[in-house]
Structure 1
Amino acid sequence: MTTRPLVDPELVALLDQLPSIELNEAIIKQVRTMTQTQRFSDLPSFPGIEVTEHFVPGPEGAPEVRVLLYQPTTEIRPVPALLWMHGGGYVMGSPEQEDLMVKKVVSVLGCVAVSVGYRLAPETHHPGPVEDCYAALQWLHTHTSKLGVDPARIALVGSSAGGGLAAALGLLARDRGEIPLAFQLLIAPMLDDRTCIMAEPHPYTGEFIWTREANRFGWTSLLGQEPGGPDVSPYAAAARAEDLEGLPPTFINVGALDLFLEEDLEFARRLTRAGVPTEFHIYPGAYHGFRMVADAQVTQIAARDQLTALKRALRIQ
Structure 2
Amino acid sequence: MSPMPVLINVHGGGWVIGRKGFQARPLIHYMASNGWLVVDINYSLGPWKRMPAMVQDVLRSVAWVKANISGYHGDPDFVALTGGSAGGHLVALAGLGFDLRAFKPGFEDADCSVDACVPVYGLYDLLDENGAMKGGKTELRDFLTRLVMPGSVTTHKYAWDLASPITHIRQDAPPMLFLHGRHDALADFDSAQAFADSLDRVSRNTVIFAAIPAGQHGYDCAHAGPTPEHLGAVRRFLDSVRVEREAP
Please confirm whether the aligned pair reaches a TM-score higher than 0.5, indicating the same fold.
yes
1:219: Cα distance to partner?
5.8
Change (3 A) 1:84 1:238: same
Bigger relative contact order (CA 8 A; separation at least 6)? 2
Q: Which of the two has higher C-alpha Rg?
A: 1
Match of 2:14 in 1: 89
CA distance in 2, matches of 1:214, 1:180: 29
1:238 maps to which of 165, 186, 195: 165
Change (3 A) 1:235 1:311: farther
Instruction: Please state if 1:130 is matched with 2:58.
Output: no
Match of 1:157 in 2: 82
TM-score, normalised to structure 2, is: 0.81
Change (3 A) 1:232 1:240: farther
Q: Count matched residues.
A: 232
Change (3 A) 1:212 1:256: farther
Instruction: Please state if 1:113 is matched with 2:38.
Output: yes
* TM alignment of 1:275-314, pairs within 5 A: 275-292=204-221, 294-296=223-225, 298-314=226-242
1:113: Cα distance to partner?
1.6
CA distance in 2, matches of 1:145, 1:78: 7
Match of 2:179 in 1: 253
User: Over aligned residues, Cα RMSD in angstroms?
Assistant: 2.9
CA distance in 2, matches of 1:220, 1:131: 20
Match of 1:192 in 2: 125
1:247: Cα distance to partner?
1.0
TM-score, normalised to structure 1, is: 0.65
Question: Helix, strand or coil: the match of 2:23?
Answer: helix
Change (3 A) 1:200 1:165: closer
Q: Which moved more, 1:128-137 or 1:104-113?
A: 104-113
Change (3 A) 1:199 1:142: closer
* TM alignment of 1:1-317, pairs within 5 A: 76-98=1-23, 100-175=25-100, 178-195=111-128, 201-202=133-134, 213=139, 216-218=142-144, 220-226=146-152, 230-241=157-168, 243-258=169-184, 259-274=187-202, 275-292=204-221, 294-296=223-225, 298-315=226-243
Structure 2: 5+ residue stretches without partners: 102-108
Q: Which moved more, 1:225-234 or 1:161-170?
A: 225-234
Change (3 A) 1:101 1:226: farther
CA distance in 1, matches of 2:74, 2:205: 25
Kindly report structure 1 stretches of 4+ aligned residues shifted beyond 4 Å: 174-177, 197-201
Alpha-carbon contact 2:133-2:188 (below 8 Å) kept: no
CA distance in 1, matches of 2:220, 2:139: 22
Identity of aligned residues (%): 22
Question: Helix, strand or coil: the match of 2:163?
Answer: coil
Alpha-carbon contact 2:125-2:195 (below 8 Å) kept: no
Q: Which letter maps to 1:159?
A: G
Alpha-carbon contact 1:86-1:116 (below 8 Å) kept: yes
